[in-house]
Amino acid sequence: MSEWALKRFWKDATVEPVEDGYAIKLDGRGVKTPAKTPLVVPTTGLAEAIADEWRAQEDKVNPALMPFTRTSNSALDKVATQHAEVAEMLAAYGDSDLLCYRADRPAELVARQNAEWDPLLEWAAEAFDARLTAQPGVMYQAQDKAALDRLSQHVHGQSAFELAAFHDLVAMSGSLVLALAVVHGARDPETAWTLSRLDETWNEEQWGVDEDAAATAAIKRGEFLHAARYHALATGA
């Protein structure tokens, strides 16, 4: 992690087109990942977001203020080297998707889940010909394999950069369908985050807000929104 111990030595960070995309350079010297991979990303928008982070550094490099750089490092050093394994792990969420496990009481919560989550399952059925089945309770119930395979294709087809962000969208929401809805524009990121926390919101309405849990949720929300923004920049949206 010696990269993060650096003091600022550069005057400016620039973006330059290269053979495989866009490189970020500090006074003409290319930035590298912790694994010494050249930091080259697929779009100018993403490259500029990374360059802005380097421009904003003061005396020392602070990774907490560089989420676009960190995600790009993960894409190049981790996801790119095991793309199929990461994609398979994320696609597996479809078989236990948050949206498919429903409360059986009280009636008000059941109605809210049906009203908010059913349209997303219907969207997935129409957009990907992948119909998942909702059920009450938390006991595992296998989903249709053909539907899961069709959803999986849309995960495996993402680039390493897209998949690095998609990982956070899926893992933090607990839902492959919600993550797909975000990256395909069916739900905006803020709405998707709210939908992923429907049960928590219900509990807060009944029993009040736990300050520690709320603080943790706020951090995760920021990470979720960053992942959505990163994915959009990686695709050139």
Q: Which domains does the chain have, with CATH numbers?
A: 2-60 (3.30.2180.10), 82-235 (1.10.3580.10)
Q: Are strands 40-41 and 29-30 parallel, antiparallel or unpaired?
A: unpaired
Q: From the centroid of its chain, how far is CA 186?
A: 15
Q: Say which residues have a Cβ less than 8 Å from residue 183's Cβ, sequence separation at least 6.
A: 162, 166, 169, 228, 231, 232, 235
CA dihedral 169, 171, 174, 180 (to 10 degrees): 30
- Which pLDDT tens digits describe the chain residue by residue (237 residues)? 344 457 888 999 999 999 999 999 999 999 999 999 999 999 999 999 999 999 999 888 888 899 999 999 999 999 999 999 999 999 999 999 999 999 999 999 999 999 999 999 999 999 999 999 999 999 999 999 999 999 999 999 999 999 999 999 999 999 999 999 999 999 999 999 999 999 999 999 999 999 999 999 999 999 999 999 999 999 997
> Would you tell me how many other CB atoms lie within 10 Å of the CB of residue 2?
6
Exposure letters 22-43 (e unless 16+ CB within 10 A, then b): bbbbbeeeebebeeeeebbbbb
Distances (CA, A) of 171 to 21, 30, 125: 28, 32, 21
Which tokens belong to 151? 């959803």
Q: φ, ψ for residue 190 (rounded to 5)?
A: -65, -45
DSSP character for 143? Answer: P
DSSP character for 22? Answer: E
Contact between 233 and 140 under an 8 Å Cβ cutoff? The reply is no
